[in-house]
Amino acid sequence: MKRKKLSFVLCLVLCVMMVVSCSNNTTPQQNNPQQNNPVKDADLSEISFDEIAEKAKGTKVTFYGWGGDEYRNNWLNKDVAGALKEKYDITLDVVPMDIDQILNKLSGEKQAGSTSGSIDVIWINGENFFTAKENSFLYGPFLDKLPSYEKYIDTEDSETNYDFGYPIEGYEAPYGKAQIVFMGDSAKTPETPASAEEFSEYVQKYKGKVTYPALPDFTGSAFVRNVIYEICGYEQFMNMEADKETVKEEVMPAMEYLKSLNPYLWNEGKTFPASSTEQENMFSDGELYFYLSYSPYSVATRIEDGVYPDTVRTYLFDKGTIGNTSYMGIAYNSPNKEGAMVVIDYLTSAEGQAGQFDKLKTLPVVDNNKLSPEEKEIFEKVDTGKGTLTQAELLSKRLPEMPANLVPIIEEIWLEEVVGK
């Protein structure tokens, strides 16, 4: 009887061991969260870019970013997607989503312990990059794996190493340069205000026809920071402590100025357009006489397509306007980090940057000194179009961005001190 019991127990143990063994062998194949990611993250640093590109063949890469620019959406969905399919057999899936929604999504996945999400590439910069990196929402560093980064980008440039004053450390790659420009239709408003004082006169003259997007809209926030630079200067902010009272004391002269504009703004400054897209629609419809954009050459595309009359032109303040760079990062739980790297590498290449410059008139991030004669010729042939300023004019009046950790503080102060006052 004891032998029978012992035999039964041994048999039961062996059966359990076999079940566990089979379970351990099959589970990764059935439930592998990285099934679209052929290589474990830890192994990516050990293989070459050619191997990464080979592993990415036949996969899908999602590209999450602001979708308010139909020109950029079309370029990504047609030109970029076509090139990636032809060169690397990668399918690009562009997902329009505001950056705050992207960060909320990543935050929720992080809290839930998700190791495989739906986001691969993220269009990001500024305070949003600060938030994402500080909360470990991004994968990296990965820049050292991209041949285009070493080949075409000035790796010593400050905007390559710092995003709104915050160290990048290989967690995002440059995508395109931007700089605030102001727009007006010379047939309606021949003036081009060159200072805060002249802008105030302009606003009063064209009462109800001028406004700017409500913060925290990216462009509206940049406009407010530009006014702060114009009235208060900018050097003192570069190393300022992110303390609300300290910041408030420094920016109040600019807030008082903005408040003085309210009676003459659209809707008397009680409310503001919810986004730069809404402001642009109002401008193109003639409801507003003033528009501002982070894309200094977009005016040419709009004129070419008949959205704006050919009398619209861009201008700057004499003291300059804020310029920055937008970037591409990879989600910490991207299911296809290899494919994401290939996409980012293409978009930082001479071909990708030239296509963006030609179709969208976005200032390129490539270092001209690193381009071949043939590549330089491609960029030089791009016609920036009507209503634009020269690249030399823009760069000569390009002001540095404010540190990322000060931006939300300024947006909060604006909300408290300016809106409806």
The domain ranges of the chain are 41-175+325-383, 179-324+398-417
- Position 23 scores a pLDDT of 40
What DSSP assignment string belongs to 330-381? EBTT-S-HHHHHHHHHHHTSHHHHHHHHHHH-PBP-S-GGGS-HHHHHHHHT
Q: Are domains 41-175+325-383 and 179-324+398-417 of this chain identical in fold? A: yes
Distances (CA, A) of 194 to 181, 182, 280, 393: 11, 10, 21, 14
Secondary structure string (H, E, C) spanning 75-143 = HHHHHHHHHHHHHHCCEEEEEECCHHHHHHHHHHHHHCCCCCCCCCEEEECHHHHHHHHHCCCECCCCH
- Position 27 scores a pLDDT of 33
Secondary structure of the chain: what % helix, strand, coil (to 5)?
50, 15, 35
- Position 69 scores a pLDDT of 87
Q: Determine the Cα–Cα distance for residues 356 and 65; give it in Å rounded to an integer.
A: 16
Supply 24's token pair: 């351990």
237-242, long-range: CB < 8 A, 24+ apart: 237/402, 237/403, 237/406, 238/165, 238/400, 238/402, 238/403, 239/403, 240/403, 240/406, 242/403, 242/405, 242/406, 242/409
pLDDT tens string for the chain (421 positions)? Answer: 333 444 443 344 334 344 334 344 433 333 333 334 434 454 688 899 999 999 999 999 999 999 988 899 999 999 999 999 999 999 999 999 999 999 999 999 999 999 999 999 999 999 999 999 999 999 999 999 999 999 999 999 999 999 999 999 999 999 999 999 999 999 999 999 999 999 999 999 999 999 999 999 999 999 999 999 999 999 999 999 999 999 999 999 999 999 999 999 999 999 999 999 999 999 999 999 999 999 999 999 899 999 999 999 999 999 999 999 999 999 999 999 999 999 999 999 999 999 999 999 899 999 999 999 999 999 999 999 999 999 889 989 999 999 999 999 999 999 999 999 9
Q: Determine the Cα–Cα distance for residues 146 and 153; give it in Å rounded to an integer.
A: 11
pTM: 0.79
- Position 355 scores a pLDDT of 97
Output the CATH code of domain 179-324+398-417: 3.40.190.10
Class of domain 41-175+325-383 (CATH, top level): alpha beta
User: Pairing between strand 312-315 and 291-293?
Assistant: unpaired
